[in-house]
Each structure stands twice: as C-alpha cells, then as structure tokens.
Amino acid sequence: MKKKETKVGIGFATGRKSFQNVLRTNIHSWSESGIVEDKMISLNIFIAYDLTYQKTIITDYTNIAPGLVEQIDSFTMIGNHSIEEETEYLIKGNVLTRREAQMIFNKGYAGQRNAILYNAIKHKMNYLIFMDDDEYPLAVTHNNKTAIWSGQDILSTHLGYIKGADVTHGHHCGYISPVPYMEFNDDMTESDFRMFIEAISNDILNWDSLKSIMNNGGVTYADTDILKTDDAVEVEEMNKAKFISGGNLCINLTDPLRVFPFYNPPGARGEDTFLSVCFSERKVLRVPCYTFHDGFSKYNYLLDGVLPRKLKFIRGDNSQIIDRFYKACLGWIRYKPLLLYLTQPESYDQKIEEMRRKITEVLPKINTYFQGPDFNIVLRELEEYNKNVEKHYKSFKETQLVWSKIMNHFANRK
C-alpha cells in the first residue's frame, strides 16, 4: 500500500465532560467530507487533558468508541505522566534543564497547547489543526424569524490553504463574547460600560461590533458572504500583532524552526494573543470556515442533531453568566500589561495610567450593576501584573529561546 503523504495532527486541549461528544461529532464531520477516506492523508489526534477543570477521570478522554478509533490513524493522549516522560527525555538528552522544560509544559492553557504542539512535531506531523472542545463544526446565520444552520468542513478548508502559509485560522460564530446582553440605565450608562471594557480588553475588540453582539443577545452570527466564498484573506499586522484565535487554527509544521510556542503570564489567558505577536515575518491567512462557539455550554444537544430555530439571549442576570464575565475580565486584565509592553512600549506607562483611571472611575457602577463578584479585584490585578510586567516579558522571551532548543533538536534528528 502506498505511504500516506500528508500527516495531519488535530489537537484538543480539553478538560470537559462533554469531550467525547465533541470528538464524535468532529470525526463524523471529517468522514462525511471524505477526508477520512482520502488515502493520501493521515489523520492523527492529540488530546491534552486536564482532570482538575471539571473533575473528570482519564476514561472520559481515553474511552473512545471503536467505530471512531478505526477512522483515525493514531491517538496520542497527553496527561501529567506523559509530560513527565517527555521532560525526562529532554533532560537526559541534554536538550533542556528541568526548569526549562517546566517553562514549556507549565500548568495552564499555554502549557497544554505546547504539549500538543511538541508531540505533533515529535511525531513528524506536517500540519497541526487546533480544535476547541466547546466549538462545533457548524455555522449559524439568521433571518427575521429563524436561525439557519450549515455544516462546516474545517479540516479540508485549512488543508487547502496551509501549504502556502505559516498559519491559517478560521472564523467563529455563536457565543464568542463573554459580555452578556445588558440593559443600560442611569446607574450604568452605555458610556460607563464602554469605558470599562475598552480599559481592560485588547486592541482587537471594537466597541461597535461588541454592542451589536450584545444587542443580538450575546450571539455572533456567521457572515453569509464568507460562507459563499472560497477566498482566504491575509491577516494584516495591527500594533505589532497578526491576531489569531486558539481554535479553528492550523500551524504549518513542515519547518519546525519557523514554529513559535504559546505563552501566557501566570494565571492569565491570552496564549493566542501572545502567539499573534510573533507573526511579523510570517504569512497568516484567514480562511472561509466557521465553528460555532458554545461559550456558555447551552447547546450540547447540537451534537445530537438538534438545531434550535432561535438562539437564547444571554443576560447578565444570573450567577453563571456573571461569573463567566467576571473571570473573563480577570483573564483580560492579567495579560493586558504584557501585551502593551510588547506592542506599545513607548507609551506603556501612559496606557497603564489611563487604564487605572478609567477602571477606578467606573468600578463602583460595575459592582452595583452585577451585585455578585468583587470587581475591585480587577484593579488589584492590574497593579500586580503591571508590577511584574518586566518579569513576564523576560519569561516570554526565554520561553521562545527554550522552544528553539527543542526545535533545533528535532531539526537535527535523522
């Protein structure tokens, strides 16, 4: 039998009980598209699992139905034990020290993604596609009366463009934004809330588009023009970054020396944003495929074929929605100082002072409106991460140097 020419890795960084349903739906989608039957393409799944996130057990990830297993060329499970094995391998080979290995495989989102990236390169994948465990291969649009759904061919779309690029990433619809629908009043005006959001979020967020999403009940609908096209668009650099997202993302691994690691400050998010900062001399394409982001875990039955005619409004009036928004605010504020330090160093102090002033001004109204978590912690976190920004910057740069040691090691293998 002729050897398969293209080795494709599909990476899931997960910790959700619903993972098996997500995996099943994706494999069925790949089979329906014809890519499973393509004798020239090898599909290999890499699963980095976190047992603490939703108190899961290993079999929540490893107990894959035989009918699904036979459609995939290989599965690689990545947990604490396998990461420790790779750490020992790198130490014994004089590639890294233990401290350096811990920088790459640290606990958190960046560490999980790096573990997948590392394993994909070690297993000589040509390309690696990251899929999020709360995103489904669907697009949703709407008219005045109903939601309109369409299946999306994620793998084939990325593979159609990645040979001519370093990175491809697709579009997202559904509940992307953690900001719920809000009814403004005299106690919390639109101007107040805009000031808060713009102070804590990154440059890619546009208030007008966010307001439109809020008015849609927190739902982002797919663009029908994008669904109809076969054209990809090159991502332009903005404030020293070519912004991508962590899921619906494909990385070209054919030259490991061109691959960067993920990074985020301790306790923060932003691993996709910090990767975006590395792409100045890389070709990044936005490709025409969507995933539906089920950010509030409201639509697991989509995976069983139930397509709602209307999507629910996500209102900021219950503890689960408020808690997600609160955690997003903490995640944003923890990585924004380093992002500013990397992209706008000449005006860093001025930007931090402006953030401090705006957040201080509007915090009493935010706390009164949501009547839940203590949003004063947002300001405290700003001060903490501002104080440590140089330390995080050095860690960001050192992570890249450590990663380059691994890439050189792989490049020099026979």
Asked if 138 and 308 touch (Cβ cutoff 8 Å), the reply is no
What's the pLDDT at 414? 55
What's the pLDDT at 366? 95
Residue 385 has which token pair? 């991460």
What's the pLDDT at 201? 86
What's the pLDDT at 296? 83
Instruction: Note if the pTM is more than 0.85.
Output: yes
Residue pLDDT tens, the chain, 414 long: 556 689 999 999 999 988 999 999 999 999 999 999 999 999 999 999 999 888 899 999 999 999 999 999 999 999 999 999 999 999 999 999 999 999 999 888 899 999 999 999 999 999 999 999 999 999 999 987 899 999 999 999 999 999 999 999 999 999 998 888 888 998 899 999 999 999 998 766 778 888 888 888 889 999 999 999 999 999 999 889 999 999 999 999 999 999 999 999 998 988 999 999 999 999 999 999 999 999 888 887 898 889 999 998 888 878 889 999 999 999 999 999 999 999 999 999 999 999 999 999 999 999 999 988 899 999 999 999 999 999 999 999 999 999 999 999 998 875
What's the pLDDT at 384? 97
Residue 167 has which token pair? 């990175």
What's the pLDDT at 26? 96
List, in order of start, the domains of the chain with CATH numbers. 6-411 (3.90.550.10)
